[in-house]
């Protein structure tokens, strides 16, 4: 057992977190590993020391005892004996386990798990495009997906007799095999005998070829609620691919996209539309009708003196709000259209109108405008 300070060995402070200690150990273990320093006795000693330090500092109870009593907490000389057992002797098998666990963490988590239990089926996705009217009212669509189902002949076992396949004798059902190289390094690979399945199917089912599942095309009905937004993902539980060895089915995710509309643009619960009106309607006022998203006509009153770009609000004429009976609003943006190809009589009337309005008719608000900017000319 070393007498060196464990925190100094791992090059961390005494208030370092568990994650910081773990990262420091990994970095130093890679640096001083004997396979990377062949024949270097000092590196081998340092490697054992940092392992010893890590074994104590990664455990909360051992770390607390070390912080309070130092190395004496593990030497059996504190009256009550060593509360954590004897010293820290490391052999090749111990270091092998340490590095096996460390590198399995690098690759995505934890110890090797058995592969001969139930395996959940894969999830599927489907892109579904609907109209704005369908998004308003809600709809039901029938879709077709390619997926897998459990083979009825072998009950999902993949065997010719329909019984569960025996556990692989090479990997003992784990789906992986380990081999030690260079004294300390342990490599974990997919079992060559069962191909990672954990079981070996010798006589395969003729219908599924030993897979336990068969490919099918299936029709499903998807119910879309009224008021659904664009780019929403709907989850249909259990509509994905079949699991293996009794595992649950995966899920189906339906991604909803809404087509562009000829008349309306959507902004959440509200609708917007740009409507052209005549110059006479803008000046004198009037009424116009437009088709509503619900199929009903919407009547809009245009006030006299309306300017182009004016926005009128029609309450409760917008989109449905999902899971409620409420609706958003409709906003009508008016665009005044200047007439072209006037008849002689129309020109005559407009000339008369201009003469009655005065010389500034081309800029009816010019006086107000000049008042705003007069300070710029001082």
List the CATH number of the domain containing 292. 2.60.260.20
222 contacts 209 by C-beta, under 8 angstroms: no
Phi, psi of 285 (to 5 degrees): 90, 170
**Domain match, 279 and 217 both:** no
Over its C-alpha atoms, the chain yields an Rg (Å, rounded) of: 39
**Domain match, 70 and 14 both:** yes
**Domain match, 252 and 281 both:** no
244 DSSP assignment: B
Any bridge partners for residue 271, and if so which? 266, 330
Q: Could you tell me which residues come within 8 angstroms of residue 344 by beta carbon, excluding any fewer than 6 positions away?
A: none
**Domain match, 269 and 253 both:** no
| pLDDT number for residue 75 | 63
Domains held by the chain: number: 3
Domain that holds residue 242: 124-158+210-258
The whole-angstrom separation of Cα 81 and Cα 286 is 100
Please list the ranges in the chain whose pLDDT falls under 70.
75-117, 180-185, 359-378
**Domain match, 279 and 364 both:** yes
The whole-angstrom separation of Cα 150 and Cα 243 is 7
126 contacts 143 by C-beta, under 8 angstroms: yes
| pLDDT number for residue 39 | 84
| pLDDT number for residue 205 | 94
pLDDT tens column, 66-101: 888 787 777 654 444 444 444 444 444 444 444 544
Domain boundary among 90, 108, 132: 90
**Domain match, 154 and 86 both:** no
Element (H, E) at 203: none
Q: Strand runs (DSSP E) across the chain, as ranges?
A: 124-130, 139-150, 176-181, 185-190, 213-224, 232-236, 252-258, 265-267, 270-278, 286-291, 297-302, 311-314, 330-337
| pLDDT number for residue 113 | 43
Rounded to a whole number of angstroms, the distance between the first and last alpha carbons of the chain is 91
The model's pTM = 0.60
| pLDDT number for residue 81 | 42
- Mean pLDDT score of the chain: 84
Question: Residue 36: which CATH number?
Answer: 1.10.287.110
Is 354 a member of any domain?
Answer: yes
């Amino acid at each position: 057992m070393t007498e060196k300070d464990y925190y100094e060995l791992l090059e961390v402070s005494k208030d370092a977190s568990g994650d910081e200690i773990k990262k420091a150990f990994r970095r130093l273990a890679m640096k001083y590993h004997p396979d990377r320093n062949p024949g270097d006795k000092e590196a081998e000693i340092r490697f054992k020391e940092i392992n010893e330090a890590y074994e104590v500092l990664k455990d909360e109870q051992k770390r607390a005892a070390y912080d309070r009593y130092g190395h004496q907490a593990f030497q059996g000389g504190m009256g009550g004996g060593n509360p954590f057992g004897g010293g820290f002797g490391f052999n090749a098998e111990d270091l092998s386990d340490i590095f096996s666990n460390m590198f399995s963490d690098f690759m995505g988590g934890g110890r090797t798990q058995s592969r001969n239990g139930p395996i959940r089926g894969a999830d599927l996705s489907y892109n579904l495009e609907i109209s704005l009217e369908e998004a308003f009212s809600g709809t039901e669509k029938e879709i077709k997906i390619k997926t897998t189902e459990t083979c009825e002949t072998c009950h999902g076992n993949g065997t010719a007799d329909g019984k569960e396949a025996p556990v692989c004798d090479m990997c003992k059902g784990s789906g992986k095999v380990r081999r030690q190289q260079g004294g300390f390094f342990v490599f974990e690979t997919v079992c060559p005998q069962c191909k990672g399945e954990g079981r070996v199917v010798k006589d395969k089912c003729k219908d599924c070829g030993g897979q336990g599942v068969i490919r099918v095309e299936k029709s499903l009905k998807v119910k879309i609620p009224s008021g659904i937004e664009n780019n929403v993902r709907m989850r249909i539980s259990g509509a994905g691919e079949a699991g293996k060895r009794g595992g649950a089915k995966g899920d189906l995710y339906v991604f909803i996209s809404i087509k562009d509309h000829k008349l309306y643009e959507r902004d959440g619960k509200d609708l917007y539309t740009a409507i052209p009106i005549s110059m006479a309607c803008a000046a004198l006022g009037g009424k116009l009708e437009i088709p509503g998203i619900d199929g009903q006509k919407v009547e809009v009153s245009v006030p006299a003196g309306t300017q182009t770009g004016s926005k009128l609000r029609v309450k409760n004429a917008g989109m449905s709000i999902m899971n409620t009976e409420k609706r958003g609003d409709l906003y009508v943006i008016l665009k005044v259209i200047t007439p072209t190809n006037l008849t002689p009589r129309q020109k005559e009337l407009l000339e008369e109108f201009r003469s009655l309005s005065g010389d500034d008719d081309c800029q009816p608000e010019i006086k107000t405008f000049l008042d705003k900017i007069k300070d710029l000319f001082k």
